[in-house]
Amino acid sequence: MKELPGRQLANFSSSQFRTRLVIAVVLLNLMMAGLALQSLRQGLEQSRARAAVATQNIAQLLEHDIAASFERIDLTLQALVDDLQDELARTRSRRDFNSTVRHHYSRQPALASLIVADSAGTIIAGSNLYKTTPGLLADRDYFRRHRDTPAAGLVISPPLRSRLNDEWIITLSRRYDSPSGGFAGAVIASVRVDHLRQLFAGINLGPNGAISLRDLELGMVTRHPELATPEAAIGSRSVSAQLREAIQSVPTAGTYLASTRMDQIERTNTYRRMANYPYYVIVGLADDDYLLGWHRELLKTAIQITAFLLATLTMTGLLLHAWRCREADLSRIASKEKEFRTLLDTAPDAIVIVDAEGRINRVNQRTLITFGYSHDALIGQPASLLLATEEIDLVTPGQAGLDIDLWAITADGHRFPISASFTPIETERGRMVTMAIRDISERREREEALKLASLVYQAVGEAIMVTDTTNRIVAINPAFTRLTGYTPGEAIGQPAGLLHSGRHNHAFFRAMWESLDATGTWKGEILNRRRSGEVVADWLMINTIYDEEGQAQWRVGMYSTVTAQKRAEETLWRQASYDVLTNLPNRRLLLDRLQQEINVARRSGAQVALMLIDLDRFKEVNDTLGHLAGDQLLMEVAQRLQACIREMDTAARLGGDEFAVILGGITDVTHVEPVAEAILRALAGTYALKEGDARISASIGIAFFPSDADHMEALFLRADQAMYAIKDKGRNGVGYVKDVWKPTLPGR
Ligand SMILES: Nc1nc2c(ncn2[C@@H]2O[C@H](COP(=O)(O)OP(=O)(O)OP(=O)(O)O)[C@@H](O)[C@H]2O)c(=O)[nH]1
């Protein structure tokens, strides 16, 4: 048989599929994660780039602001210097410059103070109240610089503690000269460091942003936000290594990433050295602030990636489950297909499945063996190829469901009879017809043989009766009707005992059945009763027909009439076996039957009872009523005896006034005594003889085989002894062996 496509699908390795699926899902997830990471990295870089640009812009802006502010202050200082020098040239004397100073100071709101010192460093004019302590500023670096270097120009100090109010300030100062050109003093503008810090505070750099202003030695000038740490103190040169490296490589401006020692916050920083002033402006945006959006993006991406992972895992799980279900289905289909193929191939019939076009779609092994084709040679061929009968139409629906005897033809042209049955089946490929073909050659031969046998059976001269296992008549032939007078209607269904004459005892039939059971045959003479009532001796031969399991199925009895010779033999036999006076079996036949019963009892385990019966004082009958009366009484005794026993039991006359009875097949010895008592009673009744009434009694001795004796002669002896014991006791009674004979087993 060809394999179905389902089997090929089932062969596709499921572990291969699972591995590929898992690899694909893992790769897909890795790809998604890679893309997401790439996008995040780009986002991070863009954010950093934007932060760098923002800090650069702010640093530039601040530089301009501070420079503009310092320039304005310088212009004020220069204007004040001009005014002072003009005044000194004009008056050649020192005068009160306070009004001039305050005039200029009022135009500079950024200034903490504006003061004028003379050549000794003593403040001589000021925007605010000032100390007139002589030489108060003489030790200031910027003052000494102006005094010693006429061309010093604008001098900007590092952060200082104001000697006027102790505030942190930086000073911008210029020298002014006397009309002779000598050093006359300095004008000094103070800017509160805190003022600069407030300038920085006005710029929004986020919660963690920072701006600082440092001098060229990187000493802290001011910082926003303020910190109380030593690193953030004015003058502190504690800066990150990254800043030092960046300034070393590019002193003018640059951007770097670092976390400061003072607050440990990671920032993108831009430093910028001011063009005309000794300061670095450093602007830092905290990563946490400017990456807030990126962090949200990161979270969103992580959620998306996780969702994608879960979705793909779920999909994979569902797919694997579906695959497993499909595999289970395929395996079920494959198993069904295997079952189906096994069924087909082990079927005793050739089975051919024919499609709607009448072409062979599928066949079993038996078809190939029966028709002698190869599988491939049959598939696709018209189904009529197998049939020798042309007119059968396999396709027409009406033909399906049909059982019909046809002729088939093998590959080598051999024709043989078949029984074909057509059954329609609906398949996914449309309606098909299953054709089950059975080779009936043997059946045909058997039928022919039976037909012949039947003819013989009908025509034969011997009477034949067939019985079944229940011993009922199932068939008779015309010769049987001629012989017995029974028609088939009267005989068939009746027990075989229909023919019994009642002349045979139990032992006769038992022997017959034993022979039939052992050998299947029996033959002998049997007294049969005709339909007319006449009893006739027939010669019967019985044979047994067995079924395939060896069990008896039929018994065939053949009857033939007993011939004259057989009749003569029968007469002789009767004379030798029966008592002439009483017509009871004589001693010889009795011994025969006793032996038969003993044989049966040996096999069956039952008991046999032998009764010896002797009439009491019979001589007196002879003596008083005459010998004929004695004969008559003996005949009457015979009849009374027979009336007391069953048909299968035997009553015999041994001679004189001695009789015997055999009771066979005894399973319970207590059943024997009532029979013996009945015989006693029957024989004791009055005998109405021609010569007058007579009364006698009898003495009975009973012995059992095998309990009293293990063979016939001994059995006889024991019964005789039991009988004589009764005679001795006074007659008219029943005696048993056990009463007279104490068993001395085994030598009884
Ligand atoms: N009428 C007739 N008598 C016979 C026949 N055969 C034997 N007898 C007689 O039967 C008698 C048998 O007698 P026994 O059995 O010896 O004695 P009994 O009178 O029966 O006494 P017990 O047996 O001792 O009770 C004898 O007289 C025989 O002659 C027969 O065929 N016909």
E-strand spans in 275-414? 279-286, 350-354, 360-363, 402-409
Number of domains in the chain: 4
The string of pLDDT tens digits covering residues 610-625 is: 999 999 999 999 999 9
Cβ(657) to ligand 1 under 6 A?
Answer: yes
Res. 400: pLDDT tops 60? no
Write out the H or E segment, with its range, that includes residue 426.
Answer: strand 415-427
Tell me, what CATH number does 705's domain have?
A: 3.30.70.270
711 occurs within a structural domain: yes
pLDDT of 681 reads: 95
CB 535 within 8 A of CB 529: yes
pLDDT of 391 reads: 61
Res. 746: pLDDT tops 50? no
318 occurs within a structural domain: no
Q: Both 270 and 413 in a single domain?
A: no
Ligand 1: which residue has its CA nearest to atom 18?
A: 617
CA nearest 261: which of 280, 237, 279?
Answer: 237
Distance (Å) from CA 237 to ligand 1 centroid: 171
Ligand 1: which residue has its CA nearest to atom 29?
A: 619
Q: Both 637 and 547 in a single domain?
A: no
Cα–Cα distance measured from residue 484 to residue 532, given in angstroms and rounded to the nearest whole number: 8
Q: Both 426 and 503 in a single domain?
A: no
Cβ(615) to ligand 1 under 6 A?
Answer: yes
Q: Both 306 and 373 in a single domain?
A: no
Cα–Cα distance measured from residue 601 to residue 604, given in angstroms and rounded to the nearest whole number: 5
Q: Both 542 and 597 in a single domain?
A: no
Q: Both 156 and 245 in a single domain?
A: yes
Cα–Cα distance measured from residue 670 to residue 683, given in angstroms and rounded to the nearest whole number: 21
Distance (Å) from CA 338 to ligand 1 centroid: 92
Distance (Å) from CA 6 to ligand 1 centroid: 104
Ligand 1: which residue has its CA nearest to atom 14?
A: 619
79 occurs within a structural domain: yes
Give the number of the atom of ligand 1 that is nearest the alpha carbon of residue 633. 1
Cβ(614) to ligand 1 under 6 A?
Answer: yes
Give the number of the atom of ligand 1 that is nearest the alpha carbon of residue 620. 19
Domain boundary pick from 559, 575, 591 = 575
108 occurs within a structural domain: yes
Cβ(619) to ligand 1 under 6 A?
Answer: yes
Helices (H) and strands (E) in the chain, counts: 21, 28
Cβ(617) to ligand 1 under 6 A?
Answer: yes
Domain boundary pick from 310, 339, 374 = 310
Mutate to test the pocket of ligand 1, among 581, 618, 633, 659 (most ligand atoms within 8 A of CB): 618
Angle of helix 627-644 versus helix 672-684 axis, rounded to 10:
150
* Strand 415-427, strand 155-156: pairing: unpaired
pLDDT of 8 reads: 47
E-strand spans in 626-744? 650-655, 658-666, 687-689, 692-694, 697-705, 733-736
CB 114 within 8 A of CB 101: yes
Range of the domain at 526: 460-575
Least confident of 116-120, 395-399, 476-480, 564-568: 395-399
DSSP single-letter state for residue 707:
T
CB 684 within 8 A of CB 617: no
Distance (Å) from CA 621 to ligand 1 centroid: 9
Cα–Cα distance measured from residue 645 to residue 663, given in angstroms and rounded to the nearest whole number: 8
Cα–Cα distance measured from residue 414 to residue 331, given in angstroms and rounded to the nearest whole number: 42
The string of pLDDT tens digits covering residues 295-304 is: 888 899 889 8
The 3-state DSSP class for residue 705 equals: strand
Distance (Å) from CA 171 to ligand 1 centroid: 188
Mutate to test the pocket of ligand 1, among 580, 619, 624, 637 (most ligand atoms within 8 A of CB): 619
Q: Please give the single-letter amino acid code of residue 89.
A: A
Res. 627: pLDDT tops 90? yes
205 occurs within a structural domain: yes
Write out the H or E segment, with its range, that includes residue 80.
Answer: helix 14-91
Question: Distances in Å between the alpha carbon of 213 and those of 59, 155, 209, 512?
Answer: 10, 18, 14, 143
- The owner of tokens 């009763």 is 529
412 occurs within a structural domain: yes
Cα–Cα distance measured from residue 663 to residue 683, given in angstroms and rounded to the nearest whole number: 18
Ligand 1: which residue has its CA nearest to atom 31?
A: 656
Q: Both 226 and 136 in a single domain?
A: yes
Cα–Cα distance measured from residue 255 to residue 269, given in angstroms and rounded to the nearest whole number: 5
Q: Both 247 and 167 in a single domain?
A: yes
Q: Both 599 and 746 in a single domain?
A: yes
pLDDT of 4 reads: 43
Cβ(579) to ligand 1 under 6 A?
Answer: no
Cα–Cα distance measured from residue 35 to residue 41, given in angstroms and rounded to the nearest whole number: 10
Ligand 1: which residue has its CA nearest to atom 13?
A: 619
Give the number of the atom of ligand 1 that is nearest the alpha carbon of residue 630. 1
* Whole-angstrom Cα Rg for the chain: 73
Res. 397: pLDDT tops 60? no
Distance (Å) from CA 534 to ligand 1 centroid: 37
Instruction: Assign residue 315 a region (left: φ > 0; alpha: ψ between -120 and 50; beta: otherwise).
Output: alpha
* Strand 733-736, strand 697-705: pairing: parallel
pLDDT of 393 reads: 63
320 occurs within a structural domain: no
Give the number of the atom of ligand 1 that is nearest the alpha carbon of residue 628. 1
Domain boundary pick from 575, 604, 629 = 575
Phi, psi values for residue 133, rounded to 5°: -55, 125
Q: Please give the single-letter amino acid code of residue 204.
A: N
CB 531 within 8 A of CB 621: no
Cα–Cα distance measured from residue 412 to residue 679, given in angstroms and rounded to the nearest whole number: 83
Cβ(654) to ligand 1 under 6 A?
Answer: no
Q: Both 518 and 415 in a single domain?
A: no
Q: What is the Cα 500 distance to its own chain's centre?
A: 69
pLDDT of 390 reads: 66
The string of pLDDT tens digits covering residues 666-691 is: 999 999 999 999 999 999 989 999 99
Q: Both 726 and 707 in a single domain?
A: yes
Q: Both 381 and 472 in a single domain?
A: no
Ligand 1: which residue has its CA nearest to atom 26?
A: 619
CB 157 within 8 A of CB 171: yes
Distance (Å) from CA 361 to ligand 1 centroid: 99
Q: What is the Cα 256 distance to its own chain's centre?
A: 67
Cα–Cα distance measured from residue 396 to residue 411, given in angstroms and rounded to the nearest whole number: 26
**What is the arithmetic mean of pLDDT over 281-309?**
89
Ligand 1: which residue has its CA nearest to atom 16?
A: 619
pLDDT of 181 reads: 87
Residue 399: exposure state from Cβ atoms within 10 A (0-12, 13-18, ≥19):
middle
DSSP single-letter state for residue 109:
T
Listed ranges 52-61, 314-323, 376-385, 651-660; the one with the highest mean pLDDT: 651-660
Least confident of 499-503, 560-564, 736-740: 560-564
DSSP single-letter state for residue 585:
B
Cα–Cα distance measured from residue 719 to residue 700, given in angstroms and rounded to the nearest whole number: 8
Tokens of residue 24, six digits: 């694909």
- Could you tell me the pLDDT band of residue 573, with boundaries at 50, 70 and 90? confident
Cα–Cα distance measured from residue 247 to residue 250, given in angstroms and rounded to the nearest whole number: 5
345 occurs within a structural domain: no
Looking at the predicted complex, does its ipTM rise above 0.95? yes
- Could you tell me the pLDDT band of residue 647, with boundaries at 50, 70 and 90? confident
Distance (Å) from CA 616 to ligand 1 centroid: 9
Distance (Å) from CA 622 to ligand 1 centroid: 8
Q: What is the Cα 531 distance to its own chain's centre?
A: 73
Query: Please, which residues have CB within 8 angstroms of residue 197's CB and are 6 or more apart in sequence?
Result: 222, 223, 224, 226
pLDDT of 662 reads: 96
Tell me, what CATH number does 427's domain have?
A: 3.30.450.20
Cβ(618) to ligand 1 under 6 A?
Answer: yes
This prediction's pTM? 0.47
Cβ(655) to ligand 1 under 6 A?
Answer: no
